[in-house]
Chains A and B, each alone.
Chain A
Amino acid sequence: DARVTQTPRDKVTEMGQEVTMRCQPILGHNTVFWYRQTMMQGLELLAYFRNRAPLDDSGMPKDRFSAEMPDATLATLKIQPSEPRDSAVYFCASGFAGTAYTTGELFFGEGSRLTVL
């Protein structure tokens, strides 16, 4: 089964530490999204990429968050320095966009649960 893979599944860290979350999108997908969810609330879009280029990262706190796609099989989300308010579940999702104005079916990874003490 093709799936979106995220690591780590769980991360506990102390305030001020750097945190890196990784995502392997489904092979062949060209669009990757990062979402954040707190306490089973709605999904907050942080950033997304198409063909490895960042399209929108306006949802991300720029001073401490950064998102990259070093290659087509890896997307990373980094927090430096981390703060307790960053505690949440971070989801990666991927899809295939055939044109500039369409986005195909979206598939989610299982999420990375981050706890910052």
Chain B
Amino acid sequence: GIQVEQSPPDLILQEGANSTLRCNFSDSVNNLQWFHQNPWGQLINLFYIPSGTKQNGRLSATTVATERYSLLYISSSQTTDSGVYFCAVVPSNTGNQFYFGTGTSLTVIP
């Protein structure tokens, strides 16, 4: 099956710093999403981005499907950004289920 790798696995930032999270996948996909799991366990949709670039406030994401990676940018980080960020993809050859990466655990300290 498709492999989804996220890096870095852990990240500690000072409030106000910027960061880039990466998601690599081993096969072509027709769907890619970024999720934020907050410290209370809720999984929140950040971006639905099978290709291209999107921005939402301090967050933006870019997916280069032909090179099989996606990046999530967090600017001017806040303590509320803490949690785990998951990337999930749907392989083009099946189109049926989402495969999740193991996540990047982000801690933003004041």
Q: How far is the CB of B84 from chain A (nearest CB, A)?
A: 6
A42 at the interface (CB under 8 A from B): yes
Partner of A42 from the list B93, B97, B102 (CB cut-off 8 Å) is: B102
User: How big is chain A's contact interface, by range?
Assistant: 20 to 34
A-B contact count (CB 8 A): 64
Whole-angstrom distance from the CB of A95 to the nearest CB of chain B? 9
**Contact between B97 and A91, CB atoms less than 8 A apart:** no
Which residues of chain A have C-beta atoms less than 8 A from B41's C-beta? 40, 89, 110-111, 113
A105 CB-CB contact with B under 8 Å: yes
A-B contact sample (17 more), CB < 8 A, given A40-B105, A104-B31, A105-B48? A40-B84, A42-B100, A43-B100, A48-B97, A55-B96, A55-B97, A97-B95, A99-B95, A102-B90, A103-B96, A106-B45, A106-B98, A107-B45, A108-B42, A108-B43, A111-B42, A113-B41
16 A-B pairs, CB-CB below 8 angstroms?
A: A42-B100, A42-B102, A45-B98, A55-B96, A89-B41, A93-B43, A99-B95, A101-B95, A102-B95, A103-B31, A103-B98, A105-B48, A106-B98, A108-B42, A110-B42, A113-B41
Residues of B bordering A, CB below 8 Å: 30-31, 33, 35, 37, 41-43, 45, 48, 84, 86, 88, 90, 92-98, 100-103, 105
| A-B pairs, 3 with minimum CB distance | A101-B95, A108-B43, A105-B48
